Amino acid sequence: MLIIAGLGNPGSKYAGNRHNIGFMAADAIHRRHGFSPWSKKFKAEISEGELGGEKVLLIKPQTYMNLSGEAVGEAIRFYKLQPSDLVAIYDELDLPPGKARLKIGGGNGGHNGIRSLDAHCGKDYRRLRLGIGHPGVKELVQHHVLGDFARADQAWLQPLLETLADNADMLVRREDSQFMNKLALAVGGKAEAEAEADKPKPEKKPAAQSHIHQARHPQPKLPATGPMAEMLKKMFGNKGE
């Protein structure tokens, strides 16, 4: 059995927030694969279904993000599962919008929902991070995370969620690399890579010379004869003497 936990905050107030992309992913899987109606258990909304021939429990903790581990931990203990039987889906500030990363274990990256999961479930579970981008300055992070996705975000958000749901059975079969390729293609990852490769490389300009390098170059020769030479000799003397 596999548990797929989408992280977010409960209630209509938060439904469209960037922080709730984990809930959105769980809902997309639920719609696509005909899971059972959502019900309440383990301080969460849960739904049972099947992916790739294996039983799967979708879970959306209702404890608010910072206590997500309480709900997911209860479910893991109830079904006598291991951290390896868990996939957590959540938002990632440090990834550009639409980009995704999947790995086992690691740090929490300052994400309080993951910090809670680590404390209640152990750390060796798969983490599917979905990029929401960073606002650029620390002071705007909370507003950005708890703000709704903009209309322009739908251009990548819907294809990402739909592709995630369509290929969720790959998570069950642990075909992680193939799954990530599907997500990248959904948001134009391949096209972006090709476009980058097609760009002409800028010509290298000669490196600017440092003042040290310039100082090592031979200086122009001073005049040996004439009025200027005589004046310099009077000022500095003749080094040959």
Q: Supply the pLDDT for residue 227.
A: 60
3-state secondary structure 149-208: CCHHHHHHHHHHHHHHHHCCHHHHCCCHHHHHHHHHHHCCHHHHHHHHHHCCCCCCCCCC
In single-letter form, the type of residue at position 44 comes to: A
Structure tokens at 76: 């893991």
Neighbours of 156 (CB within 10 A): 18
Sequence length of the chain is 241
In sequence order, the β-bridge partners of residue 88 are 5, 127
What the chain holds in terms of domains, given with CATH numbers, is: 2-183 (3.40.50.1470)
Q: What's the CA gap between 3 and 55, in Å, rounded? A: 9
Q: What is the pTM of this model?
A: 0.76
> Binding site: what residues are annotated?
14, 64, 66, 112
Q: What's the CA gap between 103 and 100, in Å, rounded? A: 10
Q: Is 19 among the residues known to form the active site?
A: yes
Q: What's the CA gap between 222 and 101, in Å, rounded? A: 66
Tens digit of pLDDT at every position of the chain (241 positions): 999 999 999 999 999 999 999 999 999 999 999 899 999 999 999 999 999 889 999 999 999 999 999 999 999 999 999 999 999 999 999 999 999 999 998 887 879 899 999 999 999 999 999 999 999 898 999 999 999 999 999 999 999 999 999 999 999 999 999 999 999 999 886 534 333 443 444 555 455 444 434 444 445 555 566 665 665 566 555 544 4
In single-letter form, the type of residue at position 117 comes to: L
Q: Supply the pLDDT for residue 225.
A: 63
In single-letter form, the type of residue at position 188 comes to: G
Neighbours of 76 (CB within 10 A): 25
SS3 79: coil
Structure tokens at 227: 């009025």
> Binding site for tRNA: what residues are annotated?
14, 64, 66, 112
Q: Supply the pLDDT for residue 224.
A: 62
Structure tokens at 107: 């740090």
Q: Identify which of 148, 153, 127 has the alpha carbon closest to the alpha carbon of residue 6.
A: 127
Q: What's the CA gap between 191 and 149, in Å, rounded? A: 24
| Catalytic entry in 19, 33, 111, 143 | 19
The DSSP call for residue 81 is: -
Residue 181: exposure state from Cβ atoms within 10 A (0-12, 13-18, ≥19): middle
